Amino acid sequence: LIFFGGIYDQAGPFFRQARDRGITAQFMGPDGLDSDELVKLAGNAVDKMYYTSVAAPVSQFPKAAKYAQDYQAAYGEGAPPFSAQAFDAANICAAGILSAAIAAGGKPTRAQVLEAIRNLPPFPGITGTFKFNAKGDPTTATYFVLRVNAADWNKNELISRLDIAPPQ
């Protein structure tokens, strides 16, 4: 196994050169490899390689189907990694701002917004339900292990999903 801890634009040429030199080891890396540009740079050298991410493909979230359709219609391409999580984060922030503004009777302070987000009831997003601890961290951290489909990046395979408590 060769674990490459960089990003796709560094990893792609490295993986291609490794295969060209006869190295047959399995490749693996972090979410910095989560880009279809990796395949453009590495070709089939990365087919079936593994990477970890905090963002699974949008297709892995049943509640995100409409989001994925709307994204495709608006931009002419599939929703990229992290976009569904960013959509949820924006909605959580908006809910926190609204809650803080109501409680403050007007424009809230940053501290009031942070407190409001910490105290939101479980928030039903398109990628899951979010709840925050007293520090403001999510009560559950989700990690994914995916396998690359070099022929179609949008069909990368979810191998494992880990839902664990974040570090204290």
* Mean pLDDT, residues 31-60: 92
Same fold, 1-53+140-158 and 58-137: yes
Q: Supply the pLDDT for residue 78.
A: 85
**Which pLDDT score is estimated for 47?**
96
**CATH number of the domain at 1-53+140-158, please?**
3.40.50.2300
Residues 61-81 as b/e (b if ≥16 CB within 10 A, e otherwise) read: beebeebbeebeeeeeebbbb
Q: Where are the domains of the chain?
A: 1-53+140-158, 58-137
3-state secondary structure of 88: helix
For the whole model, what pTM was predicted? 0.79
CA 23 – CA 124 distance, rounded (Å): 45
Which pLDDT does position 55 carry in this prediction?
Answer: 85
What CATH superfamily is the domain 58-137? Response regulator (3.40.50.2300)
Confidence at residue 134, expressed as pLDDT on a 0 to 100 scale: 78
| pLDDT for residue 66 | 94
Q: Classify 10 in phi/psi space as left (phi over 0), alpha (psi -120 to 50) or beta.
A: alpha
* Sheet with 157-164: strands ordered across: 2-3, 27-29, 50-53, 141-147, 157-164
Q: 84-137: per-residue pLDDT in tens?
A: 999 999 999 999 999 999 999 999 999 999 999 989 999 999 999 998 887 778
